[in-house]
A and B are shown apart, each in its own frame.
Chain A
């Protein structure tokens, strides 16, 4: 998997400059999961975010109960794990590889290293995360309005 290619193509890193993407490529690690592998579980401490390079993952609530619910299926270039980065809470859902999956792993500490050097670049990453969270909130609001 080409880390640069994935970083350049992901919404999470939109509007970053080439030097910033270079540094992020150094700070990211490639992780591979076989179909069925657990990436992380609900309730764990969140200390990294992930960008899918290839394959698909399921986001699952109540994973360890008798009635787990798949709340989303994410595909290549989607990202997840960003909520714990912002709110410092524990993981709100479990993530399980639906297929063999390759993803980019960026730890909070490494993102901090990035932030220390490229403040504007880090701000852009935060804005990108906020954009996605905002979009999700709007979608949720719209669904709620339809039901009321």
Chain B
């Protein structure tokens, strides 16, 4: 590489040849930026579509499981309902038996009451005759204990009837409870079945969505490949343009700087940034300005060049030392 003076390098940078090269590099960078953006956009769409496909598939499977759960619950409830129906049949049979028993107890109770009333009437008639007829008195003596026995029997029959009636009512309430429970469960079975059907249909819809997303993702995968190819081409083009700089301007061309050896210096190298950056180097670098770097440190420490101060008319230092003080209070040091 040819070592140059600062003014020689300025001439190179201002030449038409360099301007043409710079325009080619900027065009290549513009193409790279556009390719990069296109690649990132299509890659993002691909990732997003792939994620949507996975998400739809997962939701479809979840829905399928849920539909199965509802179907299982419906089957369990149906079994419960059948069991309750069987129980209710048994309870109805028990009720019918109890109803007959209660009816018999009622008849016994009425018959006992009737016998008591008949005997009371007979005793009342005998009491009317007892003063005049000794036989009536004897009969009364015989019937009085019989009346007490019949009254006891009637009381027992009444108690028995009441007990049987309570049991009959209890059995009827049990039948009604079982019917009500069975009805409620039967209704919930159909509801659960309908819900299972609905969720299964949603699951099928989600499986179709997942498949559509997968197809779209596959199309996008091909688009990603194309964009990746374009991006690689753009990067190759930039490398080609940078290589051409080495040949055309006899310099070292890296990705972000051109380097030119400094004439009469073994240590320093001129560097020309191909971009502007105010934050990531020790100084604010501007594209195509000339800076100087040490060969060992490289762009770790960049120094500005090309400033040649004219100190001939600079009187600031003289002024500072030679001009009188503005004021000097007593005792000042």
Contacts and interface: CB of A to CB of B under 8 A. Distances in A.
30 contacts: A17-B314, A19-B309, A20-B309, A23-B307, A25-B284, A26-B283, A26-B284, A27-B283, A27-B284, A29-B283, A29-B284, A30-B278, A110-B282, A113-B303, A113-B304, A116-B303, A117-B304, A117-B309, A118-B307, A118-B309, A119-B309, A119-B311, A120-B309, A120-B311, A120-B314, A121-B309, A123-B317, A124-B316, A124-B317, A127-B320
B301 interface: yes
Contacts of A30: 278-279
A127 B316 CA distance: 11
Given A29-B278, A109-B282, A110-B282, A15 B316 contact: yes
Contacts of B278: 29-30
Interface in B41-67: none
B297 to A, nearest CB: 10
Interface of A: 15, 17, 19-20, 23, 25-30, 107, 109-110, 113, 116-121, 123-124, 127
A83 B307 CA distance: 28
Q: Which 4 A-B pairs have the closest CB atoms?
A: A113-B303, A117-B307, A27-B283, A120-B314
Contacts of A29: 278-279, 282-284
A107 B317 contact: no
Interface in B258-275: none
Interface in B274-288: 278-279, 282-284
A61 B163 CA distance: 99
A19 B320 CA distance: 20
A107 B282 contact: yes
A28 B303 CA distance: 12
Nearest to A17: B314
A29 B317 CA distance: 28
A117 B301 CA distance: 16
A30 B279 CA distance: 8
Contact of A109 (B301, B304, B309, B317): B301
Interface of A is mostly: helix
A119 B279 CA distance: 26
Interface residues of B, number: 15
Interface of B: 278-279, 282-284, 301, 303-304, 307, 309, 311, 314, 316-317, 320
Contacts of A17: 314
A27 B307 contact: no
Given A117-B309, A120-B316, A123-B317, A27 B304 contact: yes
Given A120-B314, A120-B316, A120-B317, A23 B304 contact: yes
A82 B197 CA distance: 79
B104 to A, nearest CB: 96
B287 to A, nearest CB: 13
A119 B316 CA distance: 11
A137 B152 CA distance: 128
Given A29-B278, A109-B301, A116-B303, 11 more contacts: A23-B307, A25-B284, A26-B283, A28-B284, A30-B278, A113-B283, A119-B309, A119-B311, A124-B316, A124-B317, A127-B320
A70 B304 CA distance: 39
Contacts of A107: 282
A121 B320 CA distance: 13
A119 B303 CA distance: 16
Nearest to A30: B278
Nearest to A112: B303
Contacts of B303: 113, 116
Nearest to B289: A26
A17 B310 CA distance: 11
Nearest to B292: A113
Nearest to B310: A19
A29 B90 CA distance: 95
A19 B307 contact: yes
A109 to B, nearest CB: 6
Given A123-B317, A124-B316, A26 B304 contact: yes
